[in-house]
Amino acid sequence: MVFSSNIFLFLFLPAYLLAYYLTPCRYRSWTILVGSCVFYGWWRVDFLFLFAGVMLWNYLVGRMIDTCGSRSPAARHWVTAGIAVDLMILGYFKYAGFGISAINQVLASLGLQPLGSLEIILPVGISFYIFQAISYLVDVYRGDTAATRRFIDFAAFIALFPQLIAGPVLRYKDLAGQFRSRTHSVEKFSEGSGRFMQGFIRKVFIADTLAPLVDHCFRLAHPTTADAWLGSLAYGVQLYFDFSGYSDMAIGLGLMMGFRFVENFNQPYFSHSITEFWQRWHISLSTWLRDYLYIPLGGNRGGMARTCRNLFVTMLLGGFWHGANWTFLAWGGWHGLWLALERATGNAVRESRRIRPMRLAWTNLLILVGWVLFRSDDLGRAGTMLGAMFSFDLSGLSLVFREEITGLQVATLVLACGVILVSGIWQRLDHAMLPGLVRRGAVRYASALFLPPLFWLSILKLSAQSYSPFLYFQF
């Protein structure tokens, strides 16, 4: 089941919200858990057993860490064991096949008999809920939060269906207070509904319209320079509207249930450096990597060389988290390289209201090159696309590409780029030029005027198109 489906919109969501608000407040964690298990089990019921095992294991380990005392030697043993089991589960389901394939390539080059292949089905959302479980154990060990005594609250946190499949990556310490007590109001529910509609429109109207154009471009055997640039730009836009659309929908659903999740995107394509980009893109993951990987590696302690090494290793592993493919390692390494270079040269430009067009253009060029690595099926395909992008032939779009793309797709791409541009400029407008009340009033007025009709048009489009899952479901 996905958010952008008629089954979710007209069957699951109304039934769930009705059950949720009819349940007394003290028992709503049970409603969250049961409803989330139904939502998750819609794909494969058998993976609910793995899901339940992860919940129980991390709950018990968290209690043991709490009993031993934060940062005590015994607690260190428990947190190590807890994380080790979590990583073994993630490693088996996500990386075992990749590892055997890599070993077989080496064996084949040596003329040796390859190992047998593994056919492993990747559980949906496993990367996200394993990361949330790990952050819980580390936070309890550090003393940043107390281990919950109510298993139902912890299970509901892990299972919370709005963010279960593709984030944001939540932390228990940020939601613990909301599980104990949270507000429900018409204003909050209305805000959540508007946020959900916004995300739905982003996904269905823009991301899904661009998907065929992107898929066709990345299948071309001999793309021209124009083909490669158009397809790569379209993918960067598609991924942004698809993933930010999911995050908007997840945040909106959370508000409908009284939760306020962390923001996950903040105009990332209006960044003046790769450093700033990672403050604005997939914010919940970048802060997770900073707090639970970069800082434990040493962070910026120990001199510039070690800082650059830690940045590179963090992004390399962050890339590999996205999938078992050399392309993800290359993408992570590409971003890690630029993060390290920016830190070493003092060019790690951070958020600023001043717009610097040349820095924006350079940063987005680096981002776009990275997206080619991210989207390609293998390094060979990435090399073909990048080679076409920078061969600078003047032949224009190839005939085979022109026959596949439509005017609607091109118009949608232009519209989406316009939305990104206007949104970025709007965010940086001087508050003295446009007071906050005026800005918020304009946004509320525009939302009330345009969101409902666009939402219903998106539902009509959804009903007419084929199934289109969110891109981050594969991670």
* Strand boundaries in 154-216, DSSP class E: none
Look up tokens 């519209």; give the residue: 415
Catalytic one of 216, 272, 282, 322: 322
How far CA 364 is from CA of 308, 425, 444, in Å, comes to: 22, 16, 30
Q: Give the long-range contacts of residues 435-439, CB within 8 A, separation 24 or more.
A: none
Residues in the chain: 475
What's the rounded Cα separation, in Å, for the pair 409 and 411?
Answer: 5
What's the rounded Cα separation, in Å, for the pair 154 and 133?
Answer: 9
Instruction: Determine the 3-state secondary structure of 459 from DSSP.
Output: helix
**Residue 282 catalytic?**
no
Q: Answer yes or no: are the C-beta atoms of 256 and 193 closer than 8 Å.
A: yes
- Tokens encoding 433: 């030029």
Look up tokens 């009330």; give the residue: 448
- Tokens encoding 419: 């939305």
**How many Å is the maximal CA-CA distance in the chain?**
71
Instruction: Determine the 3-state secondary structure of 4 from DSSP.
Output: coil
**How remote is the C-alpha of 233 from its chain's centroid?**
19
Nearest to 30 by CA among 114, 155, 127, 146: 155
Direct distance between the N- and C-terminal alpha carbons of the chain, in angstroms, rounded to an integer: 16
Instruction: Determine the 3-state secondary structure of 436 from DSSP.
Output: helix
Preceding omega of 452 cis (within 30 degrees of 0): no
What's the rounded Cα separation, in Å, for the pair 195 and 171?
Answer: 21
What's the rounded Cα separation, in Å, for the pair 210 and 205?
Answer: 9
Q: Answer yes or no: are the C-beta atoms of 115 and 154 closer than 8 Å.
A: no
- Tokens encoding 299: 């962070």
Characterize 92-109 residue by residue with b for buried, 16 or more Cβ atoms within 10 angstroms of its Cβ, and e for exposed. Answer: ebbbebbebeeebeeeee
- Tokens encoding 197: 């509609």
- Tokens encoding 303: 């001199």
In degrees rounded to 5, what are phi and psi of residue 304?
A: -65, -40
Provide CB contacts within 8 A for 263, sequence distance 6+.
168, 247, 251, 283
Catalytic residues: 322
